[in-house]
C-alpha cells in the first residue's frame, strides 16, 4: 500500500506492476510488428519476371475466346474483381489488398498479356493461383476477356 509516508514496499505489488508493464510493452511490440508486416505485405510490388512479361498470347482475341474468357471470369473472378472489372466485386471488401481494376485503360496499356497471364497463373494473397485450376488455354482466354474492360465496345 502506498501512503503519504513513502512508497509501497510490498514485494507482491511491485512484481504485479512489473508484470503488467512487461505485458504492456510486449503487447505494443506485437501490435507494431503486425502493423509493419501488414504495411509491407500490402505495399510490396507484384514483380513479374521479364521472361513472363514477354510471353505472347497464343489465343487470338476474337468473339469465341472472349466469350469463353467471360464464362471463366464470371465463374472465378467476378466475386472479387466485379462484374464490370472495376475491382468492386461482392467479396472485394473482405481483403486488405484491393482486387485489380481492369477498367483503367492507362494502367492496362502498361500490362502485357504475358504479365496478366503470369499473375493469373501464380496468384498472390489473397488471389489464388489458377495454375492447376485452369488450363493454359483458359488462362489466355481470360486475358483476352480482361482486356475488354479497359476498351469496351
Using DSSP's 3-state secondary structure scheme, residue 124 falls into strand
d(CA 113, CA 40): 27
Tens of each residue's pLDDT in the chain, 153 residues = 555 555 656 667 778 888 888 888 888 888 877 766 555 444 457 899 999 999 999 999 999 999 999 999 999 999 999 999 999 999 999 988 899 999 999 999 999 999 999 999 999 989 999 999 999 999 999 999 999 999 876
Sketch the domain layout of the chain as residue ranges.
50-150
pLDDT reported for residue 6: 58
- Per the CB < 8 A criterion, the answer to whether 140 and 74 are in contact is no
- What is the per-residue pLDDT for 22? 83
Identify the architecture of domain 50-150 in CATH.
Answer: Orthogonal Bundle (1.10)
Euclidean distance between CA atoms 56 and 115, whole angstroms: 10
Amino acid at each position: 500500500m502506498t501512503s503519504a509516508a513513502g512508497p509501497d514496499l510490498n514485494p507482491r505489488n511491485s512484481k504485479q506492476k512489473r508484470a503488467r508493464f512487461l505485458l504492456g510493452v510486449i503487447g505494443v511490440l506485437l501490435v507494431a510488428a503486425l502493423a509493419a508486416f501488414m504495411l509491407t505485405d500490402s505495399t510490396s510490388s507484384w514483380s513479374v519476371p521479364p521472361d513472363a512479361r514477354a510471353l505472347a498470347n497464343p489465343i487470338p482475341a476474337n468473339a469465341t475466346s472472349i466469350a469463353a474468357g467471360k464464362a471463366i471470369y464470371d465463374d472465378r473472378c467476378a466475386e472479387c474483381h466485379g462484374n464490370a472489372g472495376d475491382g468492386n466485386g461482392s467479396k472485394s471488401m473482405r481483403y486488405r489488398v484491393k482486387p485489380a481494376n481492369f477498367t483503367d485503360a492507362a494502367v492496362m496499356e502498361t500490362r502485357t498479356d504475358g504479365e496478366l497471364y503470369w499473375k493469373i497463373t501464380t496468384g498472390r494473397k489473397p488471389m489464388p493461383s489458377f495454375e492447376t485450376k485452369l488450363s493454359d488455354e483458359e488462362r489466355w482466354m481470360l486475358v483476352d476477356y480482361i482486356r475488354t474492360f479497359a476498351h469496351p465496345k
